[in-house]
Amino acid sequence: MNNPVESTSVAELLEQKSSQRKKRLSLHNMLFILPNAFTLASIFCGLYAILRSVTENDQEALYQAAIAIFFAGFFDMFDGRVARLTKTQSDFGVELDSLADVISFGVAPAIMMYKWALWPLGFVGFLGAFFYLACGAIRLARFNVLAFRLQKPSSFFVGLPIPLAASMLIMLVIAHFKLFGGLPVQRHMLVFSLVMFLGGLMVSNVPYWSFKDLRFSPKVVAIAFAGAILIWLIGLRYPVSICLVALLGIYIVAGLGRAFFLKFR
């Protein structure tokens, strides 16, 4: 005969193990939600930017839309890192991130730029906004295909990443508002050319540094610290957004210069 005490102990042990397993599953589910929450926050900011752009007709609303897209970039920058840190990477997260990027860095900047500078050009301005959005969507689709084939992070992006293209546009809007307040944009064709240029770079084969293999050596930290001090000093005289426009411009031109050098050397 089985000892009733031993049977009770075995039952309690099994119940404890079942409870621990449920707690582990519950914790994993919570960790799985965390990076996706960052992605959804990016979508929230993108939607806010779209609504501010289409429901208001003043420059301050477009400035607020640009700030919202800036915060969308902040959340987008951390969702992947949080997923890797918590070991909750998934195909679902990758697809959700791409959809979020289309909304926050494709649709939102396209509408914002159309309202900010392209609408006086009529149908041509609409085509410029659509071209940027279409190139951004193609860029994201190509990135997902290449990421699936390579199976490991590369040191370079193929084409200009859509968050960086959007960053250049929103920094222009912010810098213009800081310098000229509510005055409307005058050089519409120049803005149109920039939007087309950024769209073309996104679907190009120009390699851009991903910095995914960047190691924080003393030299890198020193350069980053010196750059931060330089931006701070310039920011004492000019809006910080102008410094960021300059840095993004250097990054874009440097990628183009490197591509031409490798092709014609």
Q: What is the pLDDT of residue 56?
A: 86
The backbone torsions φ and ψ at residue 109, rounded to the nearest 5 degrees and listed phi first, read -65, -35
CATH topology classification for 18-264: Four Helix Bundle (Hemerythrin (Met), subunit A) (1.20.120)
Give pLDDT tens digits for 78-106: 887 777 787 777 788 888 999 999 999 99
Nearest to 199 by CA among 130, 118, 132: 132
Residue 172's pLDDT is what?
A: 95
Q: What is the CA radius of gyration of the chain?
A: 24
198, 165 contact by CB (below 8 A): yes
Alpha-carbon gap, residue 61 to 67, rounded angstroms: 10
Enumerate residue ranges in the chain where pLDDT < 70.
1-31, 151-153, 212-217, 219-221
pTM: 0.84
pLDDT of residue 215: 64
Q: Which residues pair with 208 in a beta bridge?
A: 157
Q: Where are the domains of the chain?
A: 18-264
